[in-house]
Amino acid sequence: GGAIGVDPDVVQELARQIAHVVRLGIQVAVVVGGGNFFRGAELEKRGMDRSRADYMGMIATVMNCLALQDFLERAGIDTRVQSAITMAQVAEPYIPRKAIRHLEKGRVVIFGAGAGMPYFSTDTVAAQRALEIHADVVLMSKNGVDGLYTADPRTDPDAVKLDQFTFEEALREGLRVVDAAALSLCRDNKLPMLVFGAEGEDTIIRAVSGEKIGTLITAE
């Protein structure tokens, strides 16, 4: 947090883990945020129009997409960026069927520019894209959070980490770790979601390998 721009070490590590997962024969699509460049909510507090702030945030995500694409291709993984806002010079438009074809050919697909509309969080876009490309699971890698807890672990020493939870419980408890709209989408379509920390060694590889990491949220 606090740093502006792309941290090459972070992107390189992300690319290394994704490349490893792809070589295991798993199809991977990625939705990236833009918070390292731009936080719309903060500018909105200063009086900026929410829609405009959101569009700026969406455009910021595309810079992250291109950085990740570059590092993945250097790791030998064929990668395509699809943007929900048309940027013909740097990305394909978002076409779900084309994304599925790329995945079937072993390519990584990175989705940029959010939903292409304001008022949609990165979490919600991840859930929506996962549903549209028929993903088996949504992996929510979070900064500063390694799963769902019974209370805020930063303020409550008695907070206990939950290995498994249902979408219904998460929505009822009003857990803020994942956007409610994303939880609702996954609940209604029975798409499991694994929430885990971005920090730590090989967290993505471990999550995909079925290791006990984070919190698995399911419909039942």
Q: Where are the domains of the chain?
A: 1-135, 136-220
The tens digit of pLDDT for each residue in 140-187 reads 999 988 999 988 888 999 999 999 999 999 999 888 899 999 999 999
Higher pLDDT, 215 or 3: 215
The tens digit of pLDDT for each residue in 46-104 reads 999 999 999 999 999 999 999 999 999 999 999 999 999 999 999 999 999 999 999 99
Q: Which 8-state DSSP code applies to residue 161?
A: E
Cα–Cα distance, 31 to 122 (Å, whole number): 7
What's the pLDDT at 5? 86
Same-fold call for 1-135 versus 136-220: yes
- Residue among 137, 133, 139, 65 nearest 100 (CA): 133
What CATH number belongs to 136-220?
3.40.1160.10
Q: What is the mean pLDDT of residues 27-33?
A: 97
Cα–Cα distance, 220 to 209 (Å, whole number): 22
Confidence of residue 1 (pLDDT cuts 50, 70, 90): very low
Q: What tokens were used for 114?
A: 């959010």
What's the pLDDT at 40? 75
Q: What is the pTM of this model?
A: 0.94
Give 197's strand partners.
Answer: 142
Q: Which CATH architecture has domain 1-135?
A: 3-Layer(aba) Sandwich (3.40)
Contacts of residue 176, defined as CB under 8 A and 6 or more positions apart, other chains included, come to none
Neighbours of 39 (CB within 10 A): 16
Give the DSSP H or E segment for 92: strand 92-93
Give 218's strand partners.
Answer: 166
Q: What's the whole-number average pLDDT of the chain?
A: 94
What's the pLDDT at 2? 54
Specify burial of residue 155 (Cβ count, 10 A radius: 0-12, 13-18, 19+).
exposed
